[in-house]
Structure 1
Amino acid sequence: LTPLALLRPLSSDLPPSIMSVMIALSMDYSLFMLTRFIENNAQQLTLQQNVEVVVLRTGSTISLSGLLVAIAYFGAVALPVENLRSAGLALGIAVVVAVVVNGALLPSMLLLAGRTLTTPLTLMSRPYGASRDRRDDAGAAASKDVWWWAAPHGQSTGLRRQGFWHWLMLHIGQRPLTAIFLLVVLFLPVLVQMPRIHASADAYAAVPMGMRSVATLRSLRQDFVVGRFDPMVVVISAAGGSPLDRARLD
């Protein structure tokens, strides 16, 4: 972004936004490619064939997705606000970079060490209950299941054979309210602290930087660290001195 910064002013909170977009897109695109790669491994494709399928099929989907996202960001160049134009241009470039890097680097890594990187290394990678595959469906269905986490009758052994994550996602799909409740309970300590979090980003980043009113608000905020001007009354008077309006700033 150095050439872009030389051509137009960039907001101070734009780099975190760029990093957020690049990290999010890189995680999604890498997950798509790795998922396709592992599926092709199950079909006994050679490493070369596997990577070619990933590039031709998943790579084309990722390229189209990134192109649409980049077009949406580049569309901000037509807006009348300088900060939004700069942000749209920078974020569009970030999307293009994320697509190019993931489309070139990840297939190269998979071609170089794909089998090693996708080899199961943890217990979670093994089929859930693999040591109990000889149990019949009747015995598995008779196990003690909690009412809100029970698998459908006759499917317990089959689900365990398909893998832990498949079993978990199927139960979440069947009991979404229970999953949401458990998720809220898990993050409850963080949610309790949310009212105490104070934003440190620039509140005037999306407004024109050349406006005198914005410059006045910035100078006033230096004297009011909390960010509020209350209690203060602004009186607008005519040339003769009679008050026209009163407005309290919150």
Structure 2
Amino acid sequence: MKTTGLIAMLLGIIVFSAKAQEVENKLSRNQQEWLDKGWPVTDTLQFSLPNEGKVLFYFNNTEFSVEQLNSELAPLMKNATKFPEFETKAFRVADNFYPTSLNTVKNSIDKKYTKHLESIELGIPVGLDFMAGYFTPEVGFRAHLGLPGYSLGASITNTVYFPEREAGEIQVNSNWFLNAEFSWNKGQRIVNNDQTIQLGILLNQGSYKLFKGTTLKAVYRHRVNNHLYIQAGVVGTDDLKTFYPTVGVRFW
């Protein structure tokens, strides 16, 4: 009886080893050995697809329960309609390494096997910069085309400059920039513009003290929360002979 049980256990190990070689999110040999030793696979969650395909998730029951994984993965699998017909795909789920973490596995499946509709995001950014010793409010309009993990867009913004008063009157100079923008979220399928690079060129050539001649700017922007962003960059003006560092905040 003991011999029969030992043979069955060895066959199970061999069968699983063959399956594990087929997982989509493979680890390096050393990482795999460490993971298998400390957190061996104890359970499998299977999803049978309408196109006769199957998706398997191997996991250790000390990290996840079947109920927990099913609640996390079932909604995703309903939308993952790009899995091939009559094929079986397998994933290892373990939070010890980035490629096998649950969030990474979910994002990978969503990006590769879920159909995404392109979206257009419209916004009116309002903010305040400090540049060349002056506070310069900015307001504008932006449009972004959202894709899984990143977005491309453009904006037109007005940097308002208040020069020194002459004869007691307040002067307001408008400086319109046309900007190209690229935003991304590392490891995320939905872009919330966590990080943005903006490149702009001054459209109106006025005889202003702050900007004159060919003027370009480059800005890096980081999202602090849902509506607040901080940014830093540099503006080259006077035909790129003079450069001003700039820092500021933006609100959406």
Relative contact order higher in (CA < 8 Å, ≥ 6 apart): 1
What TM-score comes out, normalization by structure 2 length?
0.21
Richer in strand (by share): 2
Richer in helix (by share): 1
What TM-score comes out, normalization by structure 1 length?
0.21
